[in-house]
Copies of this chain bind each other. A is one copy, B any other.
Amino acid sequence: MSARRDQSAPSEQERPQATVLVASNRGPASYSLSDDGSLSIKRGGGGLVSGLSAIGGADGTVWVCAALGEGDREAARRAPGGRLDHLAEESARTDQPVRMLDIDAGTFTRAYNGIANSTLWFVHHLLYDTPVKPVFDDRFRKEWDSYQAYNRAFAEALAAEAAPGATVLIQDYHLTLTPHQLRELRPDLRIGHFSHTPWAPPDYYRLLPDRVAAQVLEGVLGADRAAFLTRRWARTFADCCEAVLGAEVVDPGPDGGDLTIRHQGREVRIGVHGLGADAEFLRDRAHQPDVDSRLAGLRTSVGTGPDGRPRRTIVRVDRTELSKNIVRGLLAYRHLLRTREEWRGRVVHIAFAYPSRHDLPEYREYTAAVQRLAAEINDEFGTADWQPLLLHVDDDFPRSLAAYRLADVALVNPIRDGMNLVAKEVPVVSDEGCALVLSREAGAAAELAEDSVMVNPYDVIATADALDAALNMPAGERAERCKRLAAAATALPPQRWFLDQLEALR
């Protein structure tokens, strides 16, 4: 094996140095290891993959990511210098240059579960049960050390791969320290950071241990430019810099544009790029045969009401994530059925709640609560020929697209959300026009408020009222609004989103 690796490995001199680099926890591909020892590759999706496709698989680009499972780790070990596009097994090579970091499993778990998902995610989404959690103790200190090491591994890989003066785009809350670490190693680079989450307001952000709170902010400020999905999150980030670091925030002029943060003699620009849905991909994918067949299946499950017409549908598609507010969504649906008898037998709520972060106990409890409440609703209202709620917890992307096409009403009610792409995707693929019930705490509200039915996500009765209004929206109005929602949702396609950030950095 080692002989093969050496054969195909380019030497340091040979390796073409990258001029555009992307860093994110999850990469564009994942690997599994077969019994015969061969690797198989599964290519991923998402805004970043689409975005990066704008610049193709040119030699000048590299995507640095973490090996997430044993297949990934094996791929990283077999790939010369960790570069998967150089893998000996041709069928397992990536389309574009990818470098996967084989980070020690314990370090990775503490950084990823302990800090990124159990701490920073909770802080930015205001998810803590504050009287008892978080507790910053010895265990946390060890997790924080791992997070620093994990971020440093990215900084070192980026420093090794980047050509002089290259541009680096570092992604999200997993990698808040990397910009600062990378600047120390390579002050010649142009560094950007992008947050896909909300940002906590200072009164909540400051529950982090003081040193950690400052390090995260200064880590992000290591970039030349830090960007967010909406002006609101850019502003709360700036508020935190002011409150925690004593940094100075300079507002943009009346024409808008970037904020500027002055801290320790440097100026960092703070920008906004509202990632849109990938219309071309979605419309094509949503009309593949696998989606069509699932659509037929869903229609059968939904059935027809007492008037012989197809029942109305309220659709939600989420990871079972604490911030997605699935429980209150179900309570709102129950309230609708309790208080507006005219909908009984005439509407079906299709709720897809896909597994997420089951290694965290809060998520297992939350998933159980969702399932319990769903069963209660079906028990309370179900009849021989009407199941009021279809809950599915197994992930199935074509079925999600089928539900998008079918939905009369889409329910997107997170208690706090960086953007929420479901809110943007449904209007794009809807067959007949869909009314969108949207939480004002989703970043998407910044672009979609006008044609949505907006709700306060904590208010179950207001959400039920919004569902009723959405169900009663005349077909013509619904189609018109849906068209405008789709236009707003695709205003900034992933490729443009990515290129805009590159241009702003150069």
Contact = CB atoms under 8 A, between A and B. Distances in A.
Interface of A: 126-132, 134-138, 141, 201-204, 206-210, 236, 322-323, 325, 327-328, 331, 335, 362, 366, 369, 415, 456, 458-462
B460 A135 contact: yes
Nearest to A137: B460
B126 A210 contact: no
A356 to B, nearest CB: 13
Between A128, A130, A210, the greatest number of chain B beta carbons within 10 A of the residue's beta carbon is seen for A130
B126 A331 contact: no
9 contacts: A127-B130, A128-B129, A131-B327, A131-B366, A132-B366, A135-B328, A135-B458, A136-B461, A204-B204
A326 to B, nearest CB: 9
A415 to B, nearest CB: 6
Given A126-B130, A130-B126, A130-B127, A136 B366 contact: no
Nearest to A324: B131
Given A128-B130, A137-B460, 19 more contacts: A126-B130, A126-B204, A130-B415, A131-B322, A131-B325, A131-B327, A131-B362, A131-B415, A132-B327, A132-B366, A135-B331, A136-B460, A201-B203, A204-B204, A207-B456, A208-B458, A209-B458, A209-B461, A210-B459
Contacts of A206: 456
Nearest to A198: B203
Nearest to A440: B206
Contact of A210 (B322, B323, B369, B462): B462
Nearest to A203: B201
A482 to B, nearest CB: 25
B129 A129 contact: yes
Contacts of A210: 456, 459, 462
Contacts of A138: 335, 461
Q: Which 9 A-B pairs have the closest CB atoms?
A: A129-B129, A131-B322, A207-B458, A201-B203, A136-B459, A209-B459, A137-B460, A201-B201, A126-B130
A118 B202 CA distance: 24
A126 B460 contact: no
Contacts of A362: 131
A131 B137 contact: no
B203 A236 contact: yes
Contacts of A134: 458
A330 to B, nearest CB: 11
A459 B210 CA distance: 9
A366 to B, nearest CB: 6
A454 B171 CA distance: 35
Contact of A203 (B127, B129, B204, B325): B204
A143 B206 CA distance: 33
A386 to B, nearest CB: 24
